[in-house]
């Protein structure tokens, strides 16, 4: 699954357009590396998102599939849900 879509369905970011802009601005990393919106997300990846002055780190438990994804697809390691 694409990173921008994963950020939306996991509810780490409210809108996919915002996730896309954050990736483009270098405010999203996957496993410590700056990530593009189309980067593939896999189980076990560590995603870090910066929105304003908030920073959230989360571990991907599983990649959701189907029209109704499981909201419990990631585990928050540091911080809380950003915007």
What's 31's domain CATH number? 3.10.290.10
Tens of pLDDT, residue by residue over 33-78, are 999 999 999 999 999 999 888 899 999 998 887 666 666 788 889 8
Asked, for residue 14, whether it belongs to a domain, the answer is yes
Contact residues for 11 (Cβ-Cβ < 8 A; gap 6+)? 71, 81
Asked, for residue 70, whether it belongs to a domain, the answer is yes
Asked, for residue 48, whether it belongs to a domain, the answer is yes
Q: Using pLDDT thresholds of 50, 70 and 90, give the confidence band for residue 83.
A: very low
Asked, for residue 83, whether it belongs to a domain, the answer is no
Asked, for residue 35, whether it belongs to a domain, the answer is yes
**pTM of model > 0.75:** yes
| Half-sphere exposure in the Cβ direction for 40 (13 Å, CA) | 2
Count: domains in the chain: 1
Determine how many CB atoms are found less than 10 A away from the CB of residue 19.
25
């Amino acid at each position: 699954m694409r990173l921008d879509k994963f950020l939306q369905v996991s509810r780490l970011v409210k809108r996919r357009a915002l996730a896309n802009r954050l990736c483009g601005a270098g405010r999203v990393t996957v496993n410590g590396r700056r990530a593009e919106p189309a980067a593939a997300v896999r189980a076990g990846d560590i995603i870090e998102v910066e929105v304003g002055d908030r920073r959230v780190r989360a571990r991907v438990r599983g990649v959701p599939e189907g029209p109704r994804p499981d909201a419990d697809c990631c585990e928050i390691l540091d911080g809380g849900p950003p915007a």
